[in-house]
Chain A
Amino acid sequence: MNLQLFALAFFDGIAYAALVFLVAVGLTLIFGVLRVLNVAHGSFYAMGAYATASTVGAIVAAGYSPWLAFPMMIIASALIGGLIGGPVEKLLLRRIYDMEEVLQILVTFAVFMILEDVQRLVWGVQPYFESSALMVLGTVDVLGITYTAYQLILLPVVAILVLVGLRIFLRHTLSGKLILAVTEDREAATAIGVNVDRVYLVTFVVGASLAAFGGALASATTSVIPGMGADMIVLSFAVVATAGLGRIEGAAITALLIGLGRSFAVYLAPELDVLVPYLIMLAVLLVRPEGLFGMAHTRKI
């Protein structure tokens, strides 16, 4: 493997890592605050992709500028997060915060099953492919290999913006600080008058919107097909568990590890590429049971 191939594998890896991070960060945010592992997260990803692909397709077909695809991605993901994610939290999850962990996971599993069929009923089963956003940005030649600017530049930049943005939001704004307070100690936060219900709702909507945003960005590069959510869930679980539950920066680094691991596998041992996320997760958890950046759990006596 020479330097050129090394560089190529690196570029492919970060583009993929950026998408994985965007989805996983929403999941880890929700877990950090609500302490619920949300299986339906994959559905938000898929619905973000479907909503973007279908609306952008209609906009371009109607003769409007393909640049509108970018604002459309943000609008579509906010709508999915708010209109689907909001009611899921308010009507369903709110009833189960006191239940056992397994019941909570199963409730989100049930939501996932229901949303799978909702997608089929709304968007049908034929693949959607809408790459206007990718086409308008053109291509970049690196070391004799053609890349799309969308994957090589835009996706990593967006991922970094989201990472930095989330950090600033959580550390330096009032709403962010409230979220952190609830994460730290729910009862104490309630006692000092924080509206925990509201914090939960906002967090869930933001997390779901991030998943949908990941789907929206992915829709320009891939076919939107039934079942795309199921694969994404398992992958983002692997990222979140490897990173340490609730660790946002950890999710970024783990996504990068998995993205690079996968692309190097395609160069060196193509048959291994699907195993990479799980092997990384196993290796990390066997050495650090609480994940790369997780904190050890204090046990109750």
Chain B
Amino acid sequence: MRSLGMAAAAIAFAATGAFAADKPDELKIGITTFLSGPASVFGEPAKAAADMIIEQINADGGIDGVPIAASYVDEGAGGEALVSEYRRLVEDVDVDLMLASISSGNCNQLAPLAEDLKVLNLMWDCGTQRIFEENDYRYVFRTQANATPEMLATVLYLLKTKPDFSTIAVVNQDYAWGRDSWDIFQTALKAMKPDAKVVAEFFPKFGAPDFSTEISRLQALRPDVILSTSWGGDLDTFVRQAAQRGLTNTSTLVLPLAESSLQRLGSALPPGHIVGGRGDHYFLHPERVGDPAFDDFMKAFHDKTGAYPIYPVFHMSQALAAVKAVYAKAIEANGGEWPDREQVVDAMDGLSFQGLGNEVTIRDDHQGLEDQLLGTTAKSDEYGFAILKDIMLFDAEDITTPVGEESIEWLKTLGPDFVASVEPKTYAD
């Protein structure tokens, strides 16, 4: 029955359907991103970045002469609408590949679907480490890191900069990411510093408007370190309320996602707290600043949106860099001819590409190897919001779960000497 429809489609679009190796008029990409709901703090900048990057690629002659045409899907519209729209793009619009998605829940849902629909799917932003540890996919790849290296790098940075702390508390959002990231962090911490004591665990609900009670309790407990992997409005609220009541003077905050909140927080986040950005994502990236392409993009993005790029922008740039790179590689492998879609999927294996951050390589299990950058907040008069100093850049190879292993089990095998064995690049200012 499906073939009937396919035949109809083939007649209608003879040029694209019948001869896969013919160059299409345009390369169609579907992109899922949050345009509504709290996670649109990530989705909107990423969409703006995608528009800018695609415009640039097309102005430079597209992919081997083929311009890119992007369609966007709102992840905030809910599960059914997302799936329906995903299928519509794959089956009716006949997109060449999909970039999906921000939410790990949505990645869980879309990865098996992509596999069945035989469409190349780049997971451009979601963080769950489980996807490739629990399943094998042919069509699904991740063009960025996952929760394990992100949290492991955070633990390492903490242990390298503040080795003597003894107590820690956690305030994470009560949903999968908040729980998962704490599991990983806690497992790594216990393996490398068994004497660290967890004095309180709070999981206020996602979108909680008020952390006063948690903060009162934390003031009474006075932990040396407070971890929060929250993001968006939740993180802003927590940091502000903590700062207003002096909690930031008595405890060091460890905020692995706060790179995306620095500009909004302004002077509310005082110096001396640890901040990460889910990868080597920072608009003052010490290895990238000075590269004209990087500097130009930072400026152009600021001109367009009024803010400097945050990590989802970097993730989007990496996914689109992967698209560019994989087509170049597949075309070369195909003797200069336009590749069919299976050839493009084949070319993804071992692909290296560079977006706004350092180079990323796709491993055998389809996981991307992405470096991790963390730093400590410092006051900046130039920007009016905190910038990072004492930056460490961790090599992805050192901190990513080896292929075929399960993250939590692997983390348990690490010992206290692991801290010294990882040598990140450090930058003084």
Contact = CB atoms under 8 A, between A and B. Distances in A.
A12 B216 contact: yes
Most buried by A among B212, B232, B241: B212
A218 B209 contact: yes
Interface stretch (A27-35, A140-148, A196-204, A282-290): A140-148
B38 A225 contact: yes
Given A8-B220, A223-B234, A273 B204 contact: yes
Interface string A140-158: 0000111110010000000
Contacts of B245: 139, 146-148
A263 B208 CA distance: 13
Contacts of A9: 213, 216
A187 to B, nearest CB: 42
B41 interface: yes
A270 B38 contact: no
Instruction: Specify the main secondary structure of chain B where it touches its partner.
Output: helix
A129 B241 contact: no
B233 interface: yes
Contact of B212 (A12, A124, A127): A12
B244 A148 contact: yes
Contact of B207 (A126, A227, A266, A273): A227
A226 B40 contact: yes
Contacts of A228: 207, 209, 233
Nearest to A265: B213
A145 B233 contact: no
B216 A11 contact: yes
Given A12-B212, A126-B41, A223 B220 contact: no
A271 B264 contact: no
B36 interface: yes
B1 to A, nearest CB: 37
Contacts of A131: 240, 244
B205 interface: yes
A222 B39 CA distance: 17
Contacts of A231: 207, 209
Interface in A183-228: 218, 221-228
Contacts of A126: 41, 44, 264, 307
Given A12-B216, A139-B244, A146-B246, A222 B210 contact: yes
Contact of A223 (B36, B203, B237): B237
B22 to A, nearest CB: 41
Contact of B233 (A144, A225, A267, A274): A225
B159 to A, nearest CB: 27
A227 B232 CA distance: 12
B308 to A, nearest CB: 13
28 contacts: A8-B217, A11-B216, A12-B216, A15-B212, A19-B210, A124-B44, A125-B36, A125-B40, A126-B41, A126-B264, A127-B41, A131-B244, A139-B245, A144-B219, A145-B219, A146-B219, A146-B245, A146-B246, A151-B212, A223-B240, A226-B36, A226-B38, A227-B37, A231-B207, A231-B209, A263-B212, A270-B201, A274-B174
B237 A222 contact: yes
B202 interface: yes
Contacts, number: 113
Contacts of B346: none
B390 interface: no
Nearest to A150: B244
Interface string A30-65: 000000000000000000000000000000000000
Contact of B205 (A127, A146, A267, A274): A274
A43 B174 CA distance: 24
B306 to A, nearest CB: 10
Interface in B14-53: 35-38, 40-41, 43-44
Interface of B: 35-38, 40-41, 43-44, 174, 201-205, 207, 209-210, 212-214, 216-217, 219-220, 232-234, 236-237, 240-241, 244-247, 264-265, 268, 307
Interface in A125-139: 125-127, 129, 131, 134-135, 139
A168 interface: no
Given A125-B41, A271-B203, A273-B204, A8 B216 contact: yes
Contacts of A224: 233
B217 A129 contact: no
A14 to B, nearest CB: 11
Interface in A221-254: 221-228, 231
A177 interface: no
A112 interface: no
Contacts of A120: 36
Contacts of A13: 213
A129 B205 CA distance: 19
A266 B214 contact: yes
A106 interface: no
* In the A-B complex, the 3 residue pairs with the closest CB atoms: A223-B233, A225-B233, A125-B40
A148 B211 CA distance: 13
A145 B220 contact: yes
Nearest to B245: A146
Interface string A168-186: 0000000000000000000
B219 A266 contact: no
A274 B203 CA distance: 10
Contacts of A266: 202, 213-214, 217
Given A15-B212, A218-B209, A135 B40 contact: no
Contacts of A293: none
A273 B265 CA distance: 27
A127 B216 contact: no
A148 B234 CA distance: 19
